[in-house]
Amino acid sequence: MCGRFTLTEPEALAAAFPRFRFPEFSETRIPRYNIAPTQSVLGVRNDGRDVVEELRWGIGGRINIRSESIAARRSPVRRRCIEFADGFYEWRDRRPFYYTLKSGEPFAFAGLWEPENGTAACDVVTCEPNALVARVHDRMPVILTGANVDIWLDQEPLPPEMAAAILRPLDANLMNARAVSVRLNNANYDAADVLNEDPDVRLF
């Protein structure tokens, strides 16, 4: 699953994703080190506006949806979105591990969205893990790259078989991982020191 993630350099999004329009934000410019369910995240819906906006993480209490469930649908996938991140966490024996791109760039999770209580609620699509994440967990978030971002955000309904083709694990060779502070286990703690490396815990 994907239960927490980061956006430590929100100012880097505009350069990494020039296609999108970034309105003036206030608190959404603040670095986030421990984004948790029910909180606001930055994302884009497939409504044709290409506008970055705040979405609430969790659709009726569901924070993740399996890619296999989307692929098994009999009808096209309509309400799709992305959420921005620059790292995510998985746990092994209550020890958190932090995953980023080797490039250090921010990236986009695949998600679905629904209108809910006057806002747009979203979830994060998960898939089978790549070799790096599999050392810690049996699922990972779907990270979209290149043209797959455009396909996912197209306004037209997406056939389930086409969705299945792009909701795949990212190449492990593009990623880094390391153990970080157990302070992260407190979902209300959001400070840079959660990223301090734990030298006593090894991934391999």
**Tens digit of pLDDT for each residue in 163-178?**
999 999 999 999 999 9
Average pLDDT estimate for 147-164 = 97
**Are 80 and 73 a contacting pair, CB within 8 Å?**
no
pLDDT of residue 198: 74
pLDDT of residue 202: 67
Q: Which of 167, 141, 139 is nearest to 152 (CA)?
A: 167
pLDDT of residue 204: 59
Average pLDDT estimate for 191-200 = 87
Average pLDDT, the chain: 94
pLDDT at 148 over 70: yes
Measure the CA–CA gap between 35 and 5, rounded to whole angstroms: 5
Average pLDDT estimate for 108-119 = 96
Q: What ranges make up the beta strands (E) of the chain?
A: 5-7, 32-35, 40-45, 53-57, 64-66, 80-85, 87-92, 95-101, 107-116, 119-122, 124-127, 140-141, 143-144, 175-179
pLDDT at 190 over 70: yes
CATH 3.30.2320.50 assigned to domain 5-195? The reply is: no
pLDDT of residue 30: 85
pLDDT of residue 27: 57
- Give 21-41 pLDDT, tens digit per residue: 987 765 567 899 999 999 999
- Write the single-letter amino acid at 16: A
pTM: 0.95
Average pLDDT estimate for 62-86 = 97
pLDDT at 114 over 60: yes
Pick the range with the lowest mean pLDDT from 16-25, 27-36, 72-81, 194-203. 194-203
pLDDT of residue 25: 66
pLDDT at 119 over 70: yes
Q: Any idea which residues carry the catalytic annotation? A: 2, 90
